[in-house]
């Protein structure tokens, strides 16, 4: 064991520089000791080498025995080998659980069916589309309205072949008047051509003199 004359630190036999302060130890004789721990030698290929001269160094030494360069005293890591990247655990969202902060949307109300009740007791169900023509059937002209007023006296009452439309938007129903000779009314309110008025259950629809009642569902 060689004792550094500068800082009194103990160094391995044959050390060229002090592991504690880097002082030159060349030419100093080893101090007698009762028992010295065997030096742990590291082969050049082991990965523990001096970053300055490339000489093999003993693990844990602070200075190189060959050139005296300082060696990092932190946790040893093989020279040139990058530490493994940190493991990032993926964020798993349970099925059916909405992440916090994400907006939710209420489902649109289901469209319900409507019904036109004629004054003679007949009725027509409004279902399957969102627009229904009211008028008179005319095979010659190719006009076949969803609500045909012919069986209930529409022709005699002054109903045109294409008189009005019943339109459904979501849960709301409307009557839209078309360009006709005789006007369209909802209850007692006249509907201007190509405009629409809302329909509510129990409202009366009048085309010329022809009268029917609207019901929802």
Angstrom distance (rounded) from CA 212 to CA 30: 122
pTM > 0.85: yes or no: no
Q: Evaluate the CA torsion angle 60, 64, 68, 70 in order and state its sign.
A: negative
**Nearest-CA neighbor of 149 among 114, 180, 178, 120?**
120
Domains parsed from the chain with CATH numbers = 1-77 (no CATH), 114-216 (2.60.200.20)
pLDDT one digit per residue (tens) for the chain, 217 residues: 778 888 887 877 777 788 788 777 777 776 655 444 444 444 444 457 787 787 777 777 777 777 777 776 444 444 455 666 777 676 666 555 555 666 565 555 556 789 999 988 889 999 889 999 999 999 999 999 999 999 999 999 999 999 999 999 999 999 999 999 999 999 999 999 999 999 999 999 999 999 999 998 7
Beta strand residue intervals within 40-148, DSSP E = 114-118, 123-126, 131-135, 147-148
Q: Are strands 147-148 and 131-135 parallel, antiparallel or unpaired?
A: parallel
């Amino acid at each position: 064991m060689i004792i550094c004359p500068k800082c009194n630190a103990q160094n391995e036999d044959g050390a060229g520089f002090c592991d504690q302060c880097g002082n030159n130890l060349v030419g100093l004789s080893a101090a007698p000791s009762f028992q010295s721990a065997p030096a742990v030698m590291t082969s050049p290929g082991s990965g523990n080498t001096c970053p300055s001269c490339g000489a093999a160094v003993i693990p844990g030494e602070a200075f190189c025995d060959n050139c005296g360069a300082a060696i990092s005293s932190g946790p040893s890591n093989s020279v040139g080998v990058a530490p493994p990247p940190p493991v990032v655990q993926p964020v798993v969202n349970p099925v059916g659980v909405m992440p916090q902060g994400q907006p939710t949307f209420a489902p649109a109300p289901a469209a319900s069916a409507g019904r036109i009740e004629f004054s003679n007791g007949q009725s027509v169900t409004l279902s399957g589309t969102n627009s229904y023509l009211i008028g008179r059937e005319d095979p010659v002209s190719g006009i076949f309205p969803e609500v045909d007023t012919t069986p209930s006296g529409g022709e005699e009452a002054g109903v045109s072949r294409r008189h009005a439309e019943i339109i459904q938007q979501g849960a709301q129903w409307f009557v839209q008047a078309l360009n006709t000779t005789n006007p369209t009314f909802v209850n007692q309110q006249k509907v201007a051509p190509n405009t629409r008025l809302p329909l509510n259950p129990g409202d009366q629809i009048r085309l010329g003199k022809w009268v029917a009642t609207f019901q929802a569902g």
